[in-house]
Amino acid sequence: MSDKLFNRVYEDLIDRRKRILSGKINCIPWGLPRFEEESPGIEQGKSYLISANSKIGKSQITNWLFVFNPIRQIIEEGLDIKLKIFYFSLEMTSGELMRSIFSNILYLKEGVRVSPKDLRSTKKDAPVSPEILELIIKYKPYFDKVEEIVTFIDDIRHPTGINAVLETYARKNGTIVTKKITIDGQEHDTFDYYKPNDPEEYVMCIVDHIGLISEEKQQGRQLSLRESISLLSSKYFVRLRNRYNYIPVVIQQQAAASESIEHGKARNNKPTLDGLGDNKTTQRDFNVILGLHSPFRYGIPTHFDYDITFFKDFIRFLEILGGREGGAGTICPLYFDGAVNIFKELPLPNDEENLRKVYRKIENIRKKDKQNGKT
């Protein structure tokens, strides 16, 4: 490939076309067919921000879209990519994340609905069954693959430390090509482009959530949380994305003022760019900003013609809040089962036959939960 910028960009367009014609991919599909018409999936060199109010499922939708679904496609569908995920878990421990993956896989592979709380044997009279433990062992090769792909990091919380992990990986797994520029008569070497050892590799960095990062110290001064968020989002993540084609994924909570019931009703419970907590300027740094909302939490009876009084907590709405390539306002209704971290695109409201199948599934879950003493 030529060193000239025009030639590199043009040849990349040709290569991407050839990839599609030969059956390869240029993004990891979301697994949400209608939503993919507007946003096809996870792309190299794109950054993603996910926002919602507290306890709506920000971490769960992030895990589903950026961890569980990509890994499932690699293992089960033979998706021909290499995936590496650095997961900076500032809220949950790595053990909690792995238990969530146990629950998800047992449901997908065996139809067994057991929550992470049930796996922990928290109830005195309800220890996890030997059969469940045997199933976890049965799928150990699956979980080994997860650990091969995902590096869980819960002891690095400051922006410079997070950046250092990614910079180190980039330099070990590719080559930085420099060019000479002249400033005030002085010649300097500067970054030109990056050649990864494996162009098929997708490298993600997930931060859950950005409001929990440690405040940075720079030049003897303690930065505020807002300044520290800007350092990570606007400086480090923009550079990692632009230089190395990496994929920053950040969870950011909506501001506390957005949590009130009346405020939620007034704006139909939808997260907004203006409602981003701790630092609203992050919206400038990301290619795609997604919001997740739950009408049930705010007592809204119907939403986009879905009967929330029936679905209750089994429904979520994923929305593109903003993006550099359009799509803002695109809504994706989702079936949600929080116990096993499952999201599926719901049938449209007028698809009565397929909606009835969803209703029956929810009714069966509620019936079994009632029998097991759960509410």
**Mind giving me the DSSP string for 308-373?**
HHHHGGGEEEEEEEEETTS-TT-EEEEEEETTTTEEEEPPPTT-HHHHHHHHHHHHHHHHHHHHTT
Integer Cα distance of 19 and 113 in angstroms: 39
Confidence of residue 341 (pLDDT cuts 50, 70, 90): very high
Sign of the dihedral through C-alpha 57, 60, 62, 65: negative
Write down the pLDDT at residue 3. Answer: 67
Which tens digits make up the pLDDT trace of 129-177? Answer: 999 999 999 999 999 999 999 999 988 999 999 999 999 999 999 999 9
In a domain, 287, yes or no: yes
For residue 71, the model assigns a pLDDT of: 93
What residues are paired with 221 via a beta bridge?
Answer: 218
Question: What local confidence, expressed as pLDDT, does residue 126 receive?
Answer: 84
In a domain, 340, yes or no: yes
Whether residue 9 is contained in a domain is answered as no
Confidence of residue 25 (pLDDT cuts 50, 70, 90): confident
For residue 139, give the 3-state DSSP assignment.
coil
- Give the count of beta carbons closer than 10 Å to the beta carbon of residue 170: 19
**Parallel, antiparallel, or unpaired for β 342-345 and 331-337?**
antiparallel
Q: What is the pLDDT of residue 329?
A: 87
Phi, psi (degrees; rounded to nearest 5) at 51? -135, 150
How confident is the model over 200-220, as pLDDT tens digits? 899 999 999 899 999 998 888
Q: Where does residue 135 fall: left (phi above 0), alpha (psi -120 to 50 degrees), or beta otherwise?
A: alpha
**Rounded distance between C-alpha atoms, residue 317 and residue 51, angstroms:** 12
Strands 288-293, 48-52: pairing is parallel
For residue 182, tell me if it sits in a domain: yes
Determine, yes or no, domain membership for 25.
no
Tell me: the pLDDT tens digits for 268-322?
678 999 999 889 999 999 999 999 999 999 899 999 999 999 999 999 999 999 9
The domain in which residue 87 lies consists of: 31-371
Using a pLDDT cut of 70, give the percent of the chain over it: 95
Polymer length in residues for the chain: 375
Tracing tokens 């797994």 back to the chain, one arrives at: 173
Question: Would 145 be classed as within a structural domain?
Answer: yes
**How many folded domains does the chain comprise?**
1
From residue 233, how far is each of 8, 156, 368 by CA, in Å? 27, 16, 44
**Cα gap 26→35, rounded to integer Å:** 17
The answer to whether residue 323 is domain-embedded is yes
CATH number of the domain at 89, please.
Answer: 3.40.50.300
Let me know if residue 236 belongs to a domain.
yes
